[in-house]
Structure 1
Amino acid sequence: MERAELVELLTPEGLRLVDEVAETDAGSDVVATVSRLRAAGHSPTLVATALTQGRLRIKARAKFGDFASRMLFTEAGLEQATRLRVAALHAGRFHSAGIGRVADLGCGIGGDAMAFAALGLDVTAVDVDEVTATVASYNLAPFESARVEHASATDVDLDGFDGLYFDPARRTAGHRNTSRLTDPSDYTPSLDFVFESAASRPTGVKLGPGFDRSQIPDDAEAQWVSADGQVVELGLWFGAVARDGIRRSALVLDADGSHELHAVADSDDVDTVELGEYLWEPDGAIIRARLIGDVARSLGAGMLSDGIAYLTGNDAGSSPFAAGFRVIERFPLDERTLKKELRGRGIGTLEVKKRGADIDPAAFRTRMSLKGPNSATLFLTRVAGRHAALLCERV
């Protein structure tokens, strides 16, 4: 969303139109909806902006639930926003530590700041982009303890705050079609500034889950968070918002609640064993946190192959940190053989997973020409260092 679009949107007419645009309008016959709204006297720019907001509100429900229906968004801001469920956990750390005033530096559209304010924290949300800061101001308007500043994090006087929360910009500037920055030195603000600030007061830092582990400070608690099967962030915590004796943590959020595994350091690996009756796929947060060994020991399992994050064993154990499968049969990783076997078993729905095999699962599935009423999971991987295909069913 450009500045001119936002200016027109933030009028009584514009805000009414956003609220009036039903979800069916945003997702159905766009031509008919545009014609209807234009016939009602609304400008082309406002109609386009309102419909975009309607589409983004639908998309945002996955992160913000019912709150999305009263929020404004930018494309990039929504993509980078913290899920409200995760933001509540961030806020809980500051609240539990007795921290009253927090600066949310790089606040984006205000997801984390909303969670801080909902717990009664006095939060100042800061963003260097004018449009983004204005959108955050709208989203935070219901919270009396929240305020927004349009400024660079490096220009904010931090002396008045008990705690800091950083979400450095990890994508190129703009509100749509941005690209990911691969060099942390290009983040805004820089990680040098972030880590220097963290030395003086309790601080949380949100980073991408693939952040280079060698750059994690020794005094930080590093927590990888998985939500509904997707690793969504790496959180670094310093001072009073970090927990004693924990340096590595994997937090798994799913429909059953939250599950955490933590340790003082990376867990020791387990040995590679022969393929057993069962196979487990550790959650991505477990893999990122390098706690696979702890999960394996809890299941009585070993590694399927060196360097491959699959576990195997003969006991039908279960864990919230790994998805379990029963191994039906092992095949050579040969497409002609697999196509014949899948067709003979009437498998029309196939979940394809791969590690250690240079294969595009979607293209592979297409080449199998699947037909039939049955379903299965196929792992394309290595067993004891050799390529193999494992036909499995979920347990």
Structure 2
Amino acid sequence: MEASEFRELMSPEGLRLLDSLPPYESASDVVRIVSRLRAEGHSPGLVAAVLSQAKLRARARTKFGEFASTMLFTEAGLEQASRLQVAALHAGRFAAAEIHWVADLGCGIGADALALAALQLEVTAVERDEVTAAIAAYNLASWSNARVEHAAAEDFDLTGIAGVYLDPARRSAGRRLSDPADWTPSLEFAFGLAERFPTGIKLGPGIDRSLIPPGCEAQWVSVDRDVVELGLWFGPLARSGVGRAALVLTEGGPAELTAAGDSPDAETGQLGEFLLEPDGAVIRARLIGDLARTVGARMLHPEIAYLTADEPVATPFASCFRVEAVLPLDVKILRKELSARGIGTLEIKKRGVDVDPAQFRTRLGLKGDGAATLILTRGDGRRIALLTQRV
């Protein structure tokens, strides 16, 4: 967000106008709202600013629920912000470790700082981008125990601070930065702080695992089967004996697998009546073997993250599918089989095979009222297609 757009938005007129906007879903809604606001005499810049912010608020509901309607956002800040549910878990670590003054370095729009403040911890939120810092200050205005500083994380004086949380910016000008040295602040800087303070570092879940230092707790978090982050925890923020963790958050509540380190793979075996797809957090944490042994399953292939079992398995750590047919991965054969079964709605999953599911779907000529899940993978030394139903 440009400074000029922010000034328009933060005017008394801008905030009143933003809060008065009705929800909109289509381009025609936008045209109608713009026409009305311009007819009422509002400037083009103000109209653009409030409509952009209204759009961000609508998107933010998936992360912040009803709180989104009282917050301000930037595009980049919303994308990187922790979901409120996950931010509350971050804050809980600091509270449990009795760390009462936390510096949130690179706070963005203030999501994690908000969760820390809600637990009555003292929070100093630091943000180098001036507009983003101002937005964080707006979002944290209700909390007397939180303050926002416009400064670079690397330059901020941490005297008196008891713990540190960092969420390094991993994008620049809309481009993802692959080199951790280019992040803001850099990963090297974050690890340096972890040697001095109880520290939590939020990273993307797909980070090169070789970068994870020994002695910390690495926790992958998924929300509704979407792996959203990797949290590295140091000092008293890390749990004793836990080096790897997979935290799964669903409507049914939280569930977690933990281990001292990567778990050994389970034994491979013949395809059973059921196939299990481990949650992405379990895969990233390399706890597939522990999951298999816990639920009495086996690996279908030593290098592919699918498990198989002879009985249905109910676990928050994997989706379960009943195998109805095992077919060769051949378009003609599959088209004939799907047609015979009247399957017109098909979910396609794949692992271990070089197939584009979208292109593959178009070649199947789907027709009918039935639905199924097609799993493309490898088994018994060949490429196979498993026609399944979710359990």
Q: Structure 1-normalised TM-score?
A: 0.97
Give the drift of 1:198.
0.8
For 1:74, the equivalent position in structure 2 comes to 74
Contact 1:306–1:385 (CA under 8 A) maintained in structure 2: no
2:34 aligned residue: 34
Q: Which amino acid aligns with 1:241?
A: L
How far does residue 30 in structure 1 lie from its aligned partner after superposition?
1.4
Give 2:292's match in structure 1, choosing from 293, 296, 304.
Answer: 296
Asked if 2 retains the 8 angstrom alpha-carbon contact of 1:38 and 1:44, the reply is: yes
Mapping 1:1-395, distance limit 5 Å: 1-24=1-24, 29-173=29-173, 178-395=174-391
Deviation at 1:362, TM superposition (A): 2.0
Distance 1:6 1:311 in 2: 51
Deviation at 1:106, TM superposition (A): 0.8
Amino acid at match of 1:308: I
Cα distance in structure 1, aligned partners of 2:153 and 2:380: 50
Confirm or deny: 8 A CA contact 1:272 1:384 kept in the other structure: no
Letter in 2 for 1:251: L
Residue 25 (structure 1) shift = 7.4
> Structure 2: which amino acid aligns with 1:109?
I
Gaps of 5+ in 1: none
Deviations 1:292-324 (A, max 9, x none): 001111121111112110001212222110100
> Do the aligned partners of residues 68 and 26 (structure 1) sit closer, same or farther apart at CA in structure 2, a change above 3 Å counting?
farther
CA distance in 1, matches of 2:45, 2:322: 55
RMSD: 1.1
Structure 1 stretches of 4+ moved >4 Å: 25-28
Kindly indicate whether the alpha-carbon contact (under 8 Å) linking 2:353 and 2:376 is maintained by their aligned counterparts in 1.
yes
The alpha-carbon deviation at position 335 of structure 1 amounts to 0.8
Distance 1:109 1:150 in 2: 12
- One-letter amino acid matched to 2:214: D
Q: 1:279 to 1:124 in 2, by over 3 A?
A: same
Contact 1:27–1:55 (CA<8 Å) still a contact in 2?
no
In structure 2, relative to structure 1, the CA distance for the partners of 1:355 and 1:108 (3 Å cut) is same
What is the distance in 2 between the residues matched to 1:384 and 1:203? 46
Is contact 1:329–1:390 with CA below 8 Å preserved after alignment? yes
CA offset at residue 363 of structure 1? Answer: 2.1
- DSSP-derived class of the 1:369 partner: coil
Check conservation: 1:26, 1:52, Cα contact below 8 A. Answer: no
Q: Deviations over 1:207-230 (max 9, x none)?
A: 000111111111110000000110
Contact 2:24 2:30 in 1 (8 A): no
* Distance of aligned partners of 1:384 and 1:271 in 2 relative to their CA distance in 1, 3 Å threshold: farther
Shift of 1:91: 0.3
Q: Distance in 2 between matches of 1:348 and 1:145?
A: 56
| CA–CA distance in structure 2, aligned partners of residues 201 and 48 of structure 1 | 43
- Cα distance in 1 for partners of 2:155, 2:26 equals 39
Do the aligned residues in 2 keep the contact of 1:103 with 1:165 (CA within 8 Å)?
A: yes
In structure 2, give the amino acid aligned to 1:10: M
Provide the C-alpha distance between the structure 2 equivalents of 1:363 and 1:104, rounded to a whole number of angstroms. 44
User: 1:81, 1:109 within 8 Å by CA — same for their partners in 2?
Assistant: yes
How far apart, in 2, do the equivalents of 1:171 and 1:386 lie? 40
Is the CA contact 1:168–1:187 (under 8 Å) kept in the aligned structure 2?
yes
385-394 or 85-94, which deviates more: 385-394
Residues 25 and 287 (structure 1), Cα distance of their counterparts in 2 relative to 1, 3 Å cut: closer
Instruction: Return closer, same or farther for 1:153/1:385 CA change in 2, 3 Å cut-off.
Output: farther
The superposition leaves residues 174-228 of structure 1 with CA deviations (integer Å, 9 ceiling, x where unpaired) of xxxx121111111111111111111111110000001111111111100000001
* SS at structure 1 position matched to 2:176: coil
Kindly tell me: are residues 160 and 384 of structure 1, through their superposed partners in 2, closer, same or farther at Cα, counting changes over 3 Å?
Answer: farther
TM-superposed CA distance for 1:254, in Å, is 0.2
Aligned residues, how many? 391
Q: Deviation per CA, 1:64-104, whole angstroms, max 9, x where unpaired?
A: 00000011111111111100000000000001111110000
In 2: Cα distance, 1:182 partner to 1:376 partner: 37
Using a 3 Å threshold, how does the CA distance of structure 1 residues 375 and 140 change in structure 2: closer, same or farther?
A: same
Could you tell me whether the CA contact under 8 Å between 2:270 and 2:300 is conserved in 1?
Answer: yes
Q: Deviations over 1:226-262 (max 9, x none)?
A: 0011000000000111111100000000000000000
Give the distance between the partners of 1:82 and 1:392, measured in 2 at CA: 35
Is this contact kept in 2: 1:26–1:51, CA < 8 A? no
Mean CA deviation greater in 20-29 or 97-106:
20-29
The Cα shift of 1:336 comes to 1.1
Larger deviation: 257-266 or 308-317? Answer: 308-317
For 2:296 and 2:31, locate their aligned partners in 1 and report how far apart those are by CA, in whole Å.
Answer: 59
Counterpart residue identity of residue 198, structure 1 = A
